[in-house]
Amino acid sequence: MYDVIIAGSGPAGLTAAIYACRSGLKTLLVERAFAGGQMAISHMIDNYPGFEHEVTGAALANSMKLQAQRSGADMVTEEIRSFELLGDVKKIETSKNTYEGKAVILAMGAEPKKLCIPGEEEMIGAGVSYCATCDGAFFRDGEVAVIGGGNTAVEDALYLAKFCKKIYLVHRRDAFRASPSLVAAAKETDNIEFVLDSIALSVNGEYAVQSLSVRNSKTEEERQLFVTGVFFAVGQIPKTKLIEGQVELDEAGYIRSDEGCKTNVRNVFCAGDIRTKPLRQIVTAVADGAVAATAALGFEI
Ligand code: NAP
C-alpha cells in the first residue's frame, strides 16, 4: 500500500513526487508514456525561472524526472485503465497491475483539442499534426498552416518559422489570447503570414495534405492555402474521462478543487493543467504539485 499515488508525470506530477518523498511518504508515480507531459514536447521554454537562457522542454523534463527518482519515488510506465477513488483505499488499475494508496494526486493534464473539420481526422500523420515540436521537422523548407490564437499556436508558428519556408497563422479573430510578446515576435517574423478573422473549413488532399480551405468571417471570402502541413493548436481538453462521476468537474471537464488542491473526494487531490485554474503554465503546475503533495501529507485516516 502506497501513502500516495500520483497519476501523471508532467511538471505537476513530478513536483508532487519530489515533495511527497521529501516528506517521507511512500510514493508511486504512474505514467503512460514518458515523463514531462506537454513540457517534454515543448521546443524551448523561456518563462520558467532559474534559466538565464532558454531551456528545451525535453531537458527540463529530464531534470525533473531525475530529481523525482533521486527523491525515492517508485515510477512505472503503465496506462491507467480505471480509478476507484471513493473508498478509504484508493485503487488504480493499469494495463499491468492494480495499485492501492491512501491518497491520490490526479495530475494527468490535458490533451490537444480537435477541430473536427473535414479531412482533419483522415490526414493525421499525412500532414495533420497536433505537435509542432514533434512533427515540424517533416516540413522543413515547406509551407504549413498553424490554426489557433493562443500561446501554443503562436509558439508553434515561431518554432516552424525557423526552418519552414512559410507559415500561415490562421486565427478566427483578430485579437490574440497569446501573450503580446509572442504575437509581436510573430509579427516581426518575415515568413509568418497572419490569416485573421478566418475559419478553417477543411483539410484537402488525396493521400497527403495539399491545402487548407479557410473563410474570412467578415468578408465571407474563401481562400485555399497551399500547404503540406496543418498544425492544430486550438486548445486543450482535460484528461478527466476516467474520473467522471467520482470527482467534481467544471462545465469544461476540469477538476474543481480548493486552494490546497483538494477535490471534493476525501484524500484525492489534483495538480496542474487538469484543475480549474486561471493560468496553465509549467510554473503554476509545479506550484500545484508542491501544494497537493503537502496536502496529501495530512491525508485523513
Ligand atoms: P488556448 O489558450 O485555449 O487557445 C486556444 C486557441 O484556439 C484560441 O485562440 C481559440 O480562439 C482557438 N480556438 C478554440 N476553439 C476554436 C475553434 N473551434 N475554431 C477556431 N479556433 C479555435 O490553448 P493553448 O494555446 O493550447 O494554451 C493552453 C494553455 O497552456 C493556456 O493557458 C496557455 O497560456 C498555456 N500555454 C503556455 C505557454 C507558455 O507560456 N509558453 C505555451 C503553450 C501553452 P479564441 O481566442 O477566439 O477563443
Residue 59 banded pLDDT, cuts 50, 70, 90: very high
The verdict on the CB of residue 81 being under 6 Å from ligand 1 is no
> Which of 168, 196, 281 for a ligand 1 pocket mutation test, highest count of atoms within 8 Å of Cβ?
281
Ordered by start, the domain boundaries in the chain are 2-111+236-297, 128-232
What atom in ligand 1 is closest to the CA of residue 149?
9
Q: Whose CA is nearest to atom 40 of ligand 1?
A: 281
* Amino acid 300: pLDDT: 58
Percent of the chain with pLDDT over 70: 99
Q: What are the CA-CA distances from residue 130 to residues 1, 113, 139, 229 (Å)?
A: 38, 9, 14, 11
User: Tens digits of per-residue pLDDT, 165-222?
Assistant: 999 999 999 999 999 999 999 999 999 999 999 999 999 999 999 999 999 999 999 9
| 2-111+236-297 matches 128-232 in fold | yes
User: Tens digits of per-residue pLDDT, 127-170?
Assistant: 999 999 888 999 999 999 999 999 999 999 999 999 999 999 99
- Ligand 1 centre and the CA of 154: distance in Å? 9
* Amino acid 301: pLDDT: 46
Residue with cell 478566427: 172
Rounded to the nearest angstrom, the gap between the alpha carbon of residue 209 and the centroid of all alpha carbons in its chain is: 25
Q: How far apart are CA 284 and CA 278, in angstroms?
A: 10
Rounded to the nearest angstrom, the gap between the alpha carbon of residue 13 and the centroid of all alpha carbons in its chain is: 13
Tell me which H or E stretch contains 161.
helix 151-161
Contact 227, 144 (CB under 8 A): yes
- Residue 103's Cβ-count burial label (10 Å; 0-12, 13-18, 19+) is buried
Fold of 2-111+236-297: FAD/NAD(P)-binding domain (3.50.50)
Q: Under CATH, which number does the domain 128-232 receive?
A: 3.50.50.60
Looking at the DSSP bridge assignments, the partners of residue 57 are none
Task: Give the angle 107-93-80 at the CA atoms, nearest 5°.
Answer: 45
Active site residues: 131, 134-135
The verdict on the CB of residue 150 being under 6 Å from ligand 1 is yes
The verdict on the CB of residue 133 being under 6 Å from ligand 1 is no
* Amino acid 299: pLDDT: 67
- Which of 215, 4, 217 has its CA nearest to residue 103? 4
